Chain A
Amino acid sequence: DAGVTQSPTHLIKTRGQHVTLRCSPISGHKSVSWYQQVLGQGPQFIFQYYEKEERGRGNFPDRFSARQFPNYSSELNVNALLLGDSALYLCASSLAGQGYNSPLHFGNGTRLTVT
C-alpha cells in the first residue's frame, strides 16, 4: 500500500513569491495534518483537516492556508514567502475522527528553500 505522498520533493522560491504544496493521504485516511520542520527542530503543527473542514490551526500567520479536497488530498499554500519559511513541510494522515485515536503517518516532506 502506498504511504503518504507529497509533491514536489524540493522547491526553491524567491522572497515574496507564493508556493503550493500537495499531499495525498494513505488510502482510507480522511484526516490530514501539515507540519513545518526547521533544521534541528521537531515538527511544528500548522493545520489539521478532516472531511474537508479545518479542525485545528497552529500558531502560524495568515500567509499560511490549506484546504482538503473531496478525495481527501490536501494543499498547503504559503503567500509572500519569507526567508524564515525555509523548512521541510510534512504532511501526515490518520484515521483520527473515524472512531479511532490512531497515530499519524508522515510523508517524506517537501523541502522548501526561500532565497
Chain B
Amino acid sequence: QKEVEQDPGPLSVPEGAIVSLNCTYSNSAFQYFMWYRQYSRKGPELLMYTYSSGNKEDGRFTAQVDKSSKYISLFIRDSQPSDSATYLCALTSGGTSYGKLTFGQGTILTVHP
C-alpha cells in the first residue's frame, strides 16, 4: 500500500465548476500538508500549505485537512481554463525530515471553456 493515494483522474470539468481533489494517507506521522500545481514541462508550484485539521482558504482555493480520517482535499471554485494542470498533494512529517515530501500520483485536471 502506498503511503499517499491520489486518484490520477483524468478529471474534465466545464468552466465555472467546483472541483474537488482528494488524497488519503496511511502514515499518522505526516503533520504538514501541501498542494502543488504542475503545468506541462514545468516544476511543481506551491498552491496551499497547512499543518492543522480544518479549512484554509486562499482566493478560489480551499484546502481541507482531516487528520482523524487521514484525508486531505483541495477545492477549486469558479474553475478557469488556466487551472488545467496536474495537481499534486504532498505530505511531510516535518522537523529534520522537512525536506522529504511524499507526493501523491497527481490528478490531471482539464477545465474546458
| A55 is an interface residue with CB less than 8 A from chain B | yes
User: Chain B interface: which of A11-19, A75-83, A89-97?
Assistant: A89-97
- Give the total of A residues in contact with B, Cβ under 8 Å: 30
B103 contacts A43, C-beta separation under 8 Å = yes
- What's the Cα separation between A105 and B49 when bound, in Å? 12
Cβ B100 vs Cβ A45 within 8 A: yes
* Contact digits for B26-52, partner A, Cβ 8 Å, 1 yes 0 no: 000000101010000111111001010
How many B residues touch A, CB cutoff 8 Å?
Answer: 29
Partner of B106, one of A42, A96, A107: A42
A contact residues vs B (CB 8 Å cutoff): 4, 31-33, 35, 40-45, 48, 50, 55-56, 58, 90, 92, 94, 96-97, 101, 103-109, 111
